[in-house]
Amino acid sequence: MIAFTLYSRSYCHLCDDMLEQLRAYTADCQFSVEVIDVDTDAELVHLYDELVPVLIGKKPGHPPQEICHYFLDQNALKAFFQA
């Protein structure tokens, strides 16, 4: 199963928007989404601070892949699903 990690912040409306838009795809494809608040880990803040929200996708047998940040890139997401 495809697993997504959404690096976000609790007060981030862009993060909420990306999660809502991503969940709209559940009708077409089964996947899980883990939301991680970057502010809970100094290393995550270092990696993603100014980029949140950041969407990472992971398919079984493949390394994690950054799909997009700031806004849900629907073309990138569709390409990820099709690859």
CA 21 to chain CA centroid, nearest Å:
11
Contact assessment for residue 58 and residue 65, using Cβ atoms and an 8 Å cutoff: yes
Q: Which residue segments constitute the domains of the chain, with CATH numbers given?
A: 2-82 (3.40.30.10)
What is the enclosing helix (H) or strand (E) of 4? Answer: strand 2-8
Predicted pLDDT of residue 81: 92
Predicted pLDDT of residue 28: 78
For residue 74, CA distances in Å to 33, 53, 61, 71, 81 come to: 16, 14, 23, 9, 10
Q: pLDDT for 24-60, tens place per residue?
A: 988 778 899 999 999 999 999 999 999 999 999 999 9
Q: In sequence order, what are the beta bridge partners of 7?
A: 36, 54
